[in-house]
Structure 1
Amino acid sequence: MEESELPNFELEETSGNDNDDRRIPSEKREICLNGCDRPANVCLCNELPSEPISTSTQIFILHHPHELRHRLATVPILCKCLRNCQTLVGRRLRKGSFPLLDSLHNASINYHSGPHRAIFLFPGTDSSPAIELNQWVSSSSSSEDSLSDLVLIVFDGTWKHAKEMMAASLPFLSKFASKVCLDHDVSVEGETIFDSDLILRKEPFRGCMSTMEAVARSLRVLEPNGVEIEQRLISVLRAMVRFQASYLKPLKPRPKLSKKRKEDEKKNSTLQLGL
């Protein structure tokens, strides 16, 4: 996968303390009703695109119910930035979730359609591998319109919830969607693989990021003007993080991550001395 980081591919993991749920003082809780629907003192209306960004990719987000109460949720802002972005609050995808997904499922079952026109974003494991998104695009790019009308499915929740949602949805999704991932390293804890300044919540391993960042990085690969779209979404996300950070305690690196960094620094120092 939401919210901070900055899913987890969709995926976002809290450290166990809901620091992101701490209340902004009640006297400052006036809500902006002009567009962003956020507290007025952290209004993002000036950062949002003047018009939602159109994409050929259809984005469907399964939004875990627990995420509705989180102050760092990026999905509501993401949906205001993208025209072709839909969300469903729930714990799994199945027939009846979205008409378009139903049609893809039925076509695959009834007509044995060709290459999957849908992908779902989730890190792979030894038992359930995923193809890296760039590789999937390369293998699917046999024609100019090979990526037109593509469907991107994302799970939005804590890392634990996202895994549960993916597993519960897999019997349905596996019939018509391919599992893809962004580059990540499960052996290294914490932080997004891109920009550490986008982090507000601790992540289980390097490569996890907020849903908004994950979608932005994916659209960079999937859309013809993906670089521009990514930059626009990330600029909004940075503004959100900048506002939100003033209300949160700075994150301290997890003990294992701090230890690894110290070991790396010691190893580098030893190598330099040996030169």
Structure 2
Amino acid sequence: MARNLCLHCQRPTNACICDFICDIDNTTPVLVLQHPNEVKHSKGTVALLQRSLSACQVFVGENFSEHTELNELLTHYQGLLLYPSEQAQVLQRLQGRSENFISDCAAHKPKLLIILDGTWRKAYRMLMLSPNIQALTQICLPEHLANNGQYLIRKVAKKNALSSLEATCYALALLDGELHDSIEESMHEGDVKNPDKIHCGHYQVLLDKFAQFNHFQLSFRK
């Protein structure tokens, strides 16, 4: 028997995520490169992210080296790949226009935040298969943000690993100057694990909805 689907989010009605969707105008557009294994994962967060942000596209694949739409976008945008490699530049809360991770030759281009959505192993494979992605400027979150994951519903390879939604919201808040000063205050106080002291401006509502989404998913385990 076919399951009843929500007409808006296209999920089974008992797993509908519409209550967790919010409308947010993001200044920096987002592109999610999603591994095919993640597309129908019920605990994935990209569906919620894409339906909440005004400027968010999702391309599905594993090898993006010949991806026409992606390569076209990269001619018009300065692509910033959120990936914690050794050469990644740490994002900091912006003061004015201190975007020192943007090269001089691309300073005139608008920023495009690019996310790899998959397990650590799958994301690494996507990167290795795609020279055009490898060539992007790589950025990462400050340690106190990267270790502040609240992803309770899915087993991850790293302790406190962030969901794609959390990582995107934190990065957007940093890029758009939306991050609240209390983060730096909490670092001085040694209280960097308290999510209540991290506020991401108008992206915070999506993080709050994500917390509700976590509890909703956990209710299915009872």
Indicate whether the TM-score tops 0.5.
yes
- Are residues 1:193 and 2:147 paired? yes
2-side partners of 1:236 and 1:148: how far apart? Answer: 32
Q: For the pair shown, which has the larger CA radius of gyration, 1 or 2? A: 1
Equivalent residue of 2:116, what SS? Answer: strand
2-side partners of 1:103 and 1:228: how far apart? Answer: 27
What residue number does 2:5 align with? 31
What residue number does 2:173 align with? 220
| Mapped contact 1:62–1:92 kept (Cα < 8 A) | no
The 5 A counterparts of 1:126-137 are 129-134=87-92
Give the C-alpha shift of residue 76 in structure 1: 1.2
2-side partners of 1:45 and 1:153: how far apart? Answer: 25
1-side partners of 2:26 and 2:109: how far apart? Answer: 10
2-side partners of 1:48 and 1:147: how far apart? Answer: 33
- Are residues 1:180 and 2:131 paired? no
1:120–1:45: structure 2 CA closer, same or farther, 3 Å change rule? same
- Are residues 1:81 and 2:52 paired? yes
| Mapped contact 1:88–1:97 kept (Cα < 8 A) | no
Equivalent residue of 2:18, what SS? Answer: coil
1:202 to 155, 163, 170: 155
Equivalent residue of 1:134, what SS? Answer: coil
2-side partners of 1:141 and 1:102: how far apart? Answer: 19
Give the C-alpha shift of residue 182 in structure 1: 1.5
1-side partners of 2:36 and 2:27: how far apart? Answer: 28
1-side partners of 2:156 and 2:169: how far apart? Answer: 18
- Give the aligned length: 195
| Mapped contact 2:29–2:55 kept (Cα < 8 A) | yes
What residue number does 1:43 align with? 16
1:121–1:56: structure 2 CA closer, same or farther, 3 Å change rule? same
- Are residues 1:158 and 2:116 paired? no
What residue number does 1:236 align with? 209
- Are residues 1:69 and 2:40 paired? yes
1-side partners of 2:73 and 2:48: how far apart? Answer: 28
Over the aligned positions, Cα root-mean-square deviation in angstroms equals 3.1
2-side partners of 1:161 and 1:210: how far apart? Answer: 14
Q: Report the residue type matching 1:221 in the other structure.
A: L
2-side partners of 1:160 and 1:174: how far apart? Answer: 16
TM-score of the two chains, using structure 2 as the length reference: 0.74
Deviation sequence 1:201-250 (CA, Å, 0-9, x none): 2222235211111111111101244622331211221121111112238x
**Sequence identity percentage:** 28
Give the C-alpha shift of residue 104 in structure 1: 3.2
| Mapped contact 1:64–1:89 kept (Cα < 8 A) | yes
Equivalent residue of 1:179, what SS? Answer: strand
Equivalent residue of 1:69, what SS? Answer: coil
2-side partners of 1:131 and 1:74: how far apart? Answer: 25
1-side partners of 2:73 and 2:156: how far apart? Answer: 35
What residue number does 2:100 align with? 139
2-side partners of 1:148 and 1:48: how far apart? Answer: 30
The 5 A counterparts of 1:80-99 are 80-98=51-69
Equivalent residue of 2:59, what SS? Answer: strand
2-side partners of 1:54 and 1:64: how far apart? Answer: 25
What residue number does 1:122 align with? 83
Q: Report the residue type matching 1:246 in the other structure.
A: S
Q: Which has the higher contact order (CA 8 A, sep 6+)?
A: 1
Give the C-alpha shift of residue 57 in structure 1: 1.2
TM-score of the two chains, using structure 1 as the length reference: 0.61
